[in-house]
Amino acid sequence: MIDLKNLTIKKARQALDAKEFSAVELAQAYLDEINSKNKELNVYLEVFDDVLEQAKSADERIAKGESSPLLGIPLAIKDNILICGKTFSSASIILQNYVASYDATVIVKLKKQGAIFLGRTNMDDSAMGGSTENSAYGVTKNPHDTSRVAGGSSGGSIVAVASDMALGALGSDTGGSVREPAAFCGIVGMKPTYGRVSRYGLMALGSSLDCIGPAAKNVEDTEIILNAISGSDILDSTTITDTTYPKVSMKKEITIGVPWDLVNAKGVDEKVKENFKYSMEKLQSLGCKVVDISIKNIDMALAVYYIIMPAEASTNLSRIDGMRYGYSADGKTFWDVYKNSRGKGFGKEVRRRILIGTYVLSAGYYDAYYGKAQKIRAMLKQEFAKAFEAVDFIATPTIPFVAWKIGEKTDPLSMYLADIFTITANIVGVPAISIPSGFSEVEGLPAQAGKKLPLGIQFMASHGAEEMLFEIGKKFESIKDNQE
């Protein structure tokens, strides 16, 4: 019997190469786990019917002496990253029967390595949300307490890894959609430098913010997945090369900047602050220098994000009109078809953000909202660049509070506040990683949860400095006595 709970990608690679178990046996173990848990957690919208065929092909390649980091490794794929011939709906009614006609670039790369795709995972409708409560196909539940949200919008992918229903996963991160659920569920989630990973074949939300990012049990596995999917792509003009940004190396004395004004802001749970301060103390004990930094316009980042993202989303989603593909409602006129298709096909949160985006781009309001937001974004980029001249990393909690109960946050603004620590990395385009930092005791949890919910710490680095993030992440993981 394969010990999935303690299995990592690196361990699985070694075991597959040593013929301790086959790719078919490994895939079957995950299929059994999915069969056992998926009904309760609602992680997979579809488990692919060719999983064992994929695994058999991987075994044939291994038998021929082939080996690559992800050959035979079972992965979960978010429902907005296209695999040719498979249905991908972005967890929305409007695309419920859409079958992909091509592979996303990341899928092409993973197929070359021989990764196994288990299925497509649940998410917030059109990737709009931070809880996976906005999915048209039901809520994905937190494995630590099924009465609570998993986070979003990549909730399905994250829970697949956290509940041993996949060994690794891909999600998309526009404002924290990989990192936030990773923190809620106690695994590692990463958003790379903008352009590090091709967006070709990712259903667009905010084109200047979107990133495909990996999730795994530990930093090393996350690094393995990122290395497999990154690289320039002729099909995505925004992708970068290894020489796009100056190479930055870890200094002998690591300096970590903390924007304490933001960390200590109203609305951040006291237990989150305590856990973060404890984490900083442990890093100091390892020889890291922790300094207070001030980023002048960081308090405006949330407002900037919720202007730019809806503006880009309203533009991107205008192509889904009920005419060319996807769900189409009946109507007597063109306008009736358009209105009925989008009104019934998109969920409430998607409609809300489309309306906001259309408003801020409209004549008379463009300069007042969208134009100003872009100016502040440019200022934030300069301020972050200046900060990284003085520090190697910027650290914050990943989330301001633990996962909330399903249905608890009915006010959209209170949910948007969950993004206060994650959105800036997307706005300025720098890489960021969330790593489990311990737990917070919460009253009323079921006995199996141990009255504790996971917390995460986030590290940001300068453009192109993913290697440094992996180094600090591994250093942080080496701290054995995290608050538990």
Catalytic annotation present for 191? no
CA distance 46 to 371: 41
CA-closest candidate to residue 152, choices 416, 348, 421: 416
Q: Which three-class secondary structure state does DSSP give residue 453?
A: strand
How far does CA 245 lie from the centroid of its chain?
Answer: 23
Residues in the chain: 484
| Strand pairing class (116-121; 74-78) | parallel
Catalytic residue, candidates 153, 314, 437, 440: 153
For residue 432, list its beta bridge partners. 191, 460
CA distance 405 to 150: 10
Provide DSSP, 149-209.
Answer: E--SSSHHHHHHHHTTS-SEEEEEESSSTTHHHHHHHTSEEEE--TTSB--TTBPPS-TTT
Catalytic residue, candidates 22, 89, 90, 177: 177
Catalytic annotation present for 157? no
Q: How far is CA 113 from CA 23, 54, 68, 77, 402, in A?
A: 13, 12, 6, 15, 36
Q: Which three-class secondary structure state does DSSP give residue 53?
A: helix
Other CB atoms within 10 A of residue 2 CB:
17
Catalytic annotation present for 39? no
Q: List, by residue number, the catalytic residues.
A: 78, 153, 177
